[in-house]
Structure 1
Amino acid sequence: MTRTAAVMPAERVVGGYRDALASVTALSDVSTVVCSDAELVEVTRLTEELSRRVEALTVARYADNLQRRPGPMITSVGSVHGFYEQALNVGRGETNRRREHAGKLAAGQTPSGETIAPTLPDTAEALRAGQISRTHVDVIIKTMRKIPTSVSPDVVASAEASMAEFATQLTPRELENVGARLLAYLDPDGQVTDEQDRVRQRDLYLSSQDQQLMSTLTGHLTPAGRAVVELAMELFAAKGMNNPDDPDSPRGAVNAPGVDPHVLAEAAKRDRRTAGQRRHDALIAICAHASASTDGTLNGLPAHIVVTASKKDMEDGRGFATTATGSTVPVTDVIDLVMRDPGTGEMVVVVFDDDTSDVIFYGTGRRSANTAQRFASFGRDRGCTKPKCRESMFGSQAHHVRRWENGGRTTIGNLGAACGHDNRREGPLDDQWKTVIIPDGPDKGRVGWIDPADPDRIPRVNNTFFPEIILRRTWNKHHRGPTTPSPPQRE
């Protein structure tokens, strides 16, 4: 049964939200020290229920925005998803979660105005009632996604209702176990699951870097995908192959022409890596081999490893460089790769002055002027220059700050990186963004974007790819005095 939302005047809707915000704000300043133990327990329970009900409101409002696509929101950033991520600073992962939850828990509407029930109606009602958390919702969605497509709709509906009821009584971890039992009940011997189900569940994710700059790789492989990966690992992860700690270790596939069996046997004797470490090194070798084997380009850039670093860090042999995809690499690794050139494909190193954005060194084996300009300007920007955009250098295009039709020249000083989406949003019309080169101040020389909705017409830069700038400015702001210490450095 689909719940019918109450209709009231717009001013009451906005006023109701403001009143709720004021109430929560007031509660945040209230101490519970006067409460008895029983009252503190009750306050804790109410706080959790309030949080869950607000989560349901969050899902509903995201769905409203997807349905309506409000003009000011679209004009500002181009999409509902972008508004949450960039204007509200929600973050990409959380925005993706809200979009998924809205698609499963919110009622839809046909072009004729008829209401469509939520995909997971019982789950939606349990969240709205404050009986389950969003983590419960994640578990239910994950479980329902694994139900074979051949299972009848009635059985699927019963499974969803059962999971929603279980969620009101169990922790998310316990609910995962129940979900696994439910799937086993629906498909006890795996005969119901078909190729379509397996293909639907395939995925591969690379996490953000942690504080040690390490990343986690997770995913689900189809049987065919697993077979290919296993073969590749047999070829590239053999003992003695592709060992970064052994300069005499053979590179590439174990069956490649030129691999000396005697050299490989000796390298295998010296190999002290675990099986997991060999697979890690094999994956790097496979990706490097694939990158080096292509003559194609990506948004006008050859498929090379591109890193940018400051002059001081390169001279000192410490600090961190940034790759074209926005990842962080220790400068020592960059120097090591340049010196050893272990067959990882051509590397481009762009070095900048420590106090400006001026390119003072550009090193690569191929030096066509057009390519050099792209590498230098994109390396300087590290990615799309529009504020809050997270598209990397390889997902961006060369953008003329002064438009080509207005006499803008194709020079480094007039080029900036912009993803295709934002490149199309910049233009001469009143509802389009404008770009300029910042003439002075701490952002001198960088590309500034002017929001058409900004009455002050202030150019703003994108510091998404420059965490060191944010750190330095914030650190200096809070450490004023005759001797301002430098921000902390990671060794």
Structure 2
Amino acid sequence: MGEFITGAGARERFRVLLDAVDDAYAQMREVPSDAVGNAFRVEMAERLETQERTNRALMYRVFGELADPPDEVGLVNDVIDSLWARLRIPPTEIKRRMKMAARIRPRRSLLGPPLPPELPLVADAVTVGAVGQDHLRVIATAMNRLPSCVSAEERSEVEASLVREARKNDAEIVKTAARHVDEIFNPDGDFDEADRARRRGMVMGPQGPDGGSRLSGWIDPETRCYVEAATAAVRPGRHLPDGTVEDSRDDRSASQRCHDGIKLGLKAGIASGGLGSHRGHPVTVIARTTLAELDQAAHAVTNPDIPMPPPARTGGDTALPMRDLIRMATDAIHYLAVFDDHSDRPLYLGRQKRIATTDQRIICYARDGGCTRPNCTESGYHSEVHHSPDWDPIGATDADKLFFACGPDHARVTKGQWQTTVTDSGRLAWSNGTRPPDINHAHHPEELLHTDPDPPECC
């Protein structure tokens, strides 16, 4: 049996060891390496790579225990907030590490000893620093792609083969081996419904400098049928980007017409009204801008001497060029939130009703952009309306007392884990009791360009 050590003893030992590692790195940074020769540099690179992989394995161990603490009851959302603040890595990466740790760390059982990891051979290789993050990504993807009909014994054989290759070769070679695994276990592409349902998925990447976004993923056969039909409607000379529907000269490539077909289908689906409602208003595009920018854009369309204003922002926090916004306004059904005082729409309802109206949600889109909890990047499309002060007992359903909060953060306010207050400027500030109230700048990047949005407190 291993040596028994208390929690306090383990913490002290870890601190001593971590200090020793920090000290070793500090000393290595001070030692010059410009005269050691390339043969030694190769040896040093190998040692550092192994140490980095070993450190990554320990990191997965810690992340796995943070997600499912064996010694206490943990709140994952609070842990993610703490890690984000201290490590300065995005929540998506924190969740990715937790999910991967769940696959390569021993699993807890309600009764009896711990269960082995889902990928035990991968776990062993990761622990000793024999494989890197790139190997791990390729192997995990290959295991996910195996059809559901593959037996447990065959899965173990595949895992062993891939780990064996990863111990000898780089990730590209392992990827080649994974393709051969596909050919062996599924030569005829015989996937069942469960396989297709598990594999389907689309990922929309971030907007690039030109406003474009990369779309990647897999669609199931039914979705492909719809894409094919919509693309067929956008045959050469029809449904051009400028709105032309009659036959005319067309220089688009096949891939560009496929893109325009998907856009045509989505636009028709939204305009039909058949998608129902989303949080109290029809499923549609919501854009926010100012009256001055909208007026400037309208003149810039016909006068090249007038510069086009910055893009509007959608409920998904997408930058929408003003030319596109004006074109969409002519034939699309969407809500446009314009900062204009001349409106007779009922924005202030007091305590007549608790549920925010469509108009009030539009104001939240315009003012907040998305969840108002500091550092949360969830867009307005996926946010709920939060009362501040709380509806019970004195809150009013007025536009200046309603703010966006994503579902998890809204629930944490309800549970008392966060407190909110309205600032003098009309923004919502959040505090969890460990730091001063703060507002979210994630949906207002322009606030980060001019001055420090969070100046130090005055003494």
| Superposition TM-score, scaled by structure 1 size | 0.79
TM-aligned CA distance change 1:6 to 1:128, over 3 Å: farther
Deviation at 1:466, TM superposition (A): 1.5
Alignment of 1:173-212 (within 5 A): 173-191=172-190, 193-212=191-210
- Cα distance in 2 for partners of 1:102, 1:108 equals 10
Q: Distance in 2 between matches of 1:293 and 1:6?
A: 67
Structure 2 counterpart of 1:318, from 296, 304, 309? 309
CA distance, structure 2, for counterparts of residue 123 and residue 5 of structure 1: 26
Report the CA distance shift for 1:54/1:6 in structure 2 as closer, same or farther (over 3 A): farther
Alpha-carbon shift at residue 452 of structure 1 (Å): 2.6
C-alpha deviation, 1:110, in angstroms: 0.5
Match of 1:481 in 2: none
Task: Work out whether residues 362 and 376 of structure 1, in 8 Å CA contact, stay in contact via their aligned partners in 2.
Answer: no
1:195 deviates by 2.9
Q: Does 1:447 align with 2:428?
A: yes
CA contact (8 A) 1:326 1:382 kept: yes
CA distance in 2, matches of 1:70, 1:313: 56
**Matched residue SS, 2:392:** helix
The separation in 2 between residues aligned to 1:124 and 1:183, in whole angstroms, is 22
**Structure 2 CA distance, aligned partners of 1:227 and 1:209?**
27
Distance 1:71 1:310 in 2: 50
Aligned to 2:240, the other structure's residue is in SS state coil
The match for 1:409 is 396
Alignment match, 2:254 = 275
Amino acid across the alignment from 2:237: G
Identity %: 26
* CA distance 1:293–1:47, shift in 2 (3 Å): same
Q: CA, structure 1 residues 131+410, in 2 after alignment: closer, same or farther (shift >3 Å)?
A: same
- Give the alignment of 1:268-347 within 5 angstroms: 269-294=248-273, 296-310=276-290, 313-314=293-294, 315=296, 317-338=308-329, 341=330, 343-347=331-335
Aligned to 2:447: 469
Match of 2:53 in 1: 52
Partner Cα distance (1:149, 1:141) in 2: 15
Which residue pairs with 1:65 in the alignment? 66
* Alpha-carbon shift at residue 362 of structure 1 (Å): 8.3
Gaps of 5+ in 2: 297-306, 348-356
Structure 1 stretch displaced more, 117-126 or 22-31: 22-31
Deviation at 1:323, TM superposition (A): 1.1
**What's the offset of the Cα at 1:166?**
0.2
1:238 pairs with 235, 248, 254, which one?
235
Partner Cα separation in structure 2 for residue 328 and residue 57 of structure 1? 40
Q: 1:400 aligns with which of 387, 395, 398?
A: 387
- Rate the CA distance shift 1:300–1:31 in 2: closer, same or farther, 3 A: farther
Deviation at 1:476, TM superposition (A): 13
2:372 alignment partner, one of 385, 389, 394: 385
Output the CA distance in 2 between the equivalents of 1:51 and 1:465. Answer: 35
The question of whether the paired residues in 2 share the 8 Å contact of 1:383 and 1:417 is answered with: yes
User: What is the CA deviation profile of residues 269-320 of structure 1, one whole-angstrom value per residue up to 9, with x for unaligned ones?
Assistant: 3222222112212222211222222273322233232222356644352222
Report if the CA contact (8 A) 1:86-1:388 is conserved.
no
Q: Is the 8 A contact 1:59 1:102 kept in 2?
A: yes
Moved more, 79-88 or 324-333: 79-88
Partner residue, 2:361: 374
Q: In the alignment, residue 423 of structure 1 is paired with which amino acid?
A: H
Q: Distance in 2 between matches of 1:28 and 1:323?
A: 48
Cα 1:150–1:411 shift into 2, 3 Å = same
In structure 2, the CA distance between the partners of 1:298 and 1:476, relative to structure 1 (3 Å rule), is closer
1-side partners of 2:341 and 2:308: how far apart? 16
2:268 alignment partner AA: H
Change in 2 beyond 3 A, CA 1:334/1:465: same
Instruction: Tell me if the contact between 1:73 and 1:83 (Cα under 8 Å) persists in the aligned partners.
Output: no
Q: Which runs of 5+ in 1 are unaligned?
A: 251-263, 352-359, 478-491
The 3 A distance-change label for structure 1 pair 476 and 423 is closer
Separation in structure 2 between the aligned mates of residue 169 and residue 318 of structure 1, nearest angstrom = 56
**TM-score, normalization: structure 2?**
0.85
Residue type of the alignment partner of 1:36:
G
CA distance in 1, matches of 2:142, 2:281: 42
Rounded to whole Å, the distance in 2 between the matches of 1:142 and 1:44 is 28
Amino acid at match of 1:381: D
What amino acid does structure 1 have at the position aligned with 2:150?
Answer: V
Residue 123 of structure 1: aligned partner: 122
> What residue identity is the alignment partner of 2:56?
E
Deviation of the 1:105 alpha carbon: 1.1
- Aligned to 2:404, the other structure's residue is in SS state strand
